[in-house]
Amino acid sequence: MKAKTKDKNKAIDKFNYIPYKRKLTELARQNRNNPSSAEKKVWYEVLSRKQFEGYKFTRQKPIDHFIVDFYCSKLQLVIEIDGDSHAENAEYDKARTKVLNQYGLKVLRYTNRDVMNNIEGVYQDLIQIVKPPVPPLSGGQKPKVQVPLIREI
């Protein structure tokens, strides 16, 4: 029995597969068809069509027994857009993040307010996560790095 479990874990590692409840697939599809305003803004202005640093993100991805707002498998990154109701569910969100972290996933959370009022700040925060600052060159000079602007739609 132990050998079977060990083989299963190897398969998960080899293919970077994260299990999910199949019954969530239809609900995820419905969620993709009815995004919140904040989710729509993040998707179209930052993440869709590999416009964020060339990384592919998916929307409403089933992972374990959750559906996450956005997911990038290459970065092992989950992005959650929290509405006002999340303030009341802080313990649930904390437990959910803990489960996702156990799969090696990093979870970033942004509020609807952040997205709707400061999408550039959200974008810059994501850049910092994906591309940490480069240490200064000798002599205190910093290399010139151009950060692409968010495409307006």
Domain ranges for the chain, please list them.
Answer: 18-124
Q: Can you tell me the distance from the alpha carbon of 65 to that of 96, in angstroms, rounded to the nearest whole number?
A: 9
Buried b / exposed e over 65-90, threshold 16 CB at 10 Å, is ebbbbbbbeebebbbbbbeeeeeeee
Half-sphere exposure of 47 (CA within 13 A, CB side): 24
The 3-state DSSP class for residue 147 equals: coil
Quote the pTM value.
0.74
Q: Kindly report the CA angle at 110 between 105 and 113, in degrees rounded to 5? A: 170
Q: Which two tokens stand for residue 27?
A: 């609900």
Q: Kindly report the CA angle at 45 between 41 and 46, in degrees rounded to 5? A: 105
Highest mean predicted confidence (pLDDT) among 15-19, 123-127, 131-135, 149-153: 123-127
Q: What is the pLDDT of residues 23-72, one digit of tens each?
A: 999 999 999 999 999 999 999 999 999 989 999 999 999 999 999 999 99
Q: What is the pLDDT of residues 58-75, one digit of tens each?
A: 999 999 999 999 999 999
- Superfamily of domain 18-124 in the CATH hierarchy: VSR Endonuclease (3.40.960.10)
